[in-house]
Structure 1
Amino acid sequence: MALNVTTVGENPQVPSITAQTFVPDQLIAGPKQVVTRNVTITGGPFVRGTVLGKITASGKYTIALSASSDGSQTPMAVLADNADGSAGDVIAGAILEAELNVNAVTLGAGITAAAATDALRPLGIHLKSSVSAADPT
């Protein structure tokens, strides 16, 4: 006995089963309430978890680099989602308070995990190293 596939209109009716799996990026590392705010991002592209510095003259955020001298060399926030301001400034969410996994954040050139931890702690962002950022699969 053969199974016939019935086509209705332009949509073939094909029985199937699908499943989705959510794999967290492990950026959030504790129960502290996450506080975010929209900020203007310049440069990029940047991935979720990028440590950001604030350019003093413009108030815009970009990746914190130790070689910068425009104010952005000091970590001020962490990017909440991917953002690309390379073609023009974009508005994106920045994490202002949270417990984050230091192994899951993206650090700019010359910014060490210890330096980022010390700079962000007084702002309410606590980088913790007790959590692995390895893919659980």
Structure 2
Amino acid sequence: MDVQSYTPETLFTGTFPRHTEPRRIASGQTLEARSVLGMVTATKQLKLSLAAATDGSQTPVAILLAAIDTTAAAADAPVYLAGCFNPELLVYGTGHDAASVKAAFTGSPLFLRAPL
């Protein structure tokens, strides 16, 4: 008998309660699940957080639950607004990494922690 091992991905790495809500995702993007998002100050829409952005979205505020394509128009999608997440499984925009996002989440109900 061939024995195979299975190692599940562990997105959630703590017991902190998870909270999701639908939010408007800005148009013009194709985003992977687990993308780290920032909020555009003027529109309150979310987009991939890029460290060099100057529209407010440079500050991470949410994590996208499922992949979405908004190339044609903005759309609503569920995002995580609270929880403890495995930083190795998140999708970071240019200029961000686990350390910068962890620092940005300080004081919010979002946390990054590697699995034990």
Q: What do residues 57-105 of structure 1 show as CA deviations (whole Å, max 9, x unaligned)?
A: 0000000001211000110111111111121101001101001000000
The one of 41, 44, 47 equivalent to 2:25 is 41
Quote the Cα distance in structure 1 between the aligned partners of 2:9 and 2:93: 19
- Do 2:10 and 2:115's aligned partners in 1 also have CA atoms closer than 8 Å? no
Q: Which runs of 4+ in 1 moved over 2 A?
A: 22-26
- Do 1:121 and 1:127's aligned partners in 2 also have CA atoms closer than 8 Å? no
Q: Please, which runs of 5 or more residues in structure 2 have no aligned partner? A: 1-5
Q: Measured at CA, do residues 118 and 87 of structure 1 come closer, stay the same or move farther in structure 2, by a change above 3 Å?
A: same
Task: Give the TM-score normalised by the residue count of structure 1.
Answer: 0.74
Q: Please, which runs of 5 or more residues in structure 1 have no aligned partner? A: 1-21, 132-137
Q: What do residues 26-64 of structure 1 show as CA deviations (whole Å, max 9, x unaligned)?
A: 222222211111100123211111000000000000000
Quote the Cα distance in structure 2 between the aligned partners of 1:36 and 1:123: 14
Higher RCO (CA < 8 A, seq sep 6+): 2
Aligned residue pair count: 110
Which structure would you say has the larger Rg?
1
